[in-house]
Structure 1
Amino acid sequence: MNYATQFYSWIQGIVSHYLQIYVFAKNPELAARYGNLIVLMVTLTVIYALLEVFESFKKVLRYIILMGWFILVLAIVFNYLNRH
């Protein structure tokens, strides 16, 4: 977890630095505040997007599993009927 915290702080520093240079040159303390909020919002957005991707993958996987079981049962039934 220490690496994640270091990475988060590093990204926050980069964002704050560029905000200070390009947006808040006259008021650098706002750059640090908004840099922290921007990194937090980006992190939450990425987590939300990943959860959405995995949620949609769960739906697709559910249909694949259902089709697999259906095909397996059909194969067993057809094999049984073919013997008699």
Structure 2
Amino acid sequence: MLEASNLECVRGERSLFADVSFRLDGGEMLYLQGTNGSGKTSLLRMLCALTPAVSGEILWRGTPIGSSARSFAAKRLCYPPRAPE
């Protein structure tokens, strides 16, 4: 299970998103859609512990993902690069 609660992302002085929360159980999928610069990639990077959230919490199978759990996330989560078009 992947769970995000009240995530916020700020780049420079600009807030990309705030209060983003969701829960995904096994076999479920999250579809992200938005304009360029809306924070889609930033959210994905947060979910893999590559970018810290300004606020909020991310849990993977009940375990917090963050800077202190980077090795945990690195072993279990993957952020693949964008496929060439």
Q: Same fold (TM over 0.5)?
A: no
More helix as a share of residues: 1
Normalised by the length of structure 1, the TM-score is 0.24
* Higher relative contact order (CA closer than 8 Å, sequence separation 6+): 2
More strand as a share of residues: 2
Normalised by the length of structure 2, the TM-score is 0.24
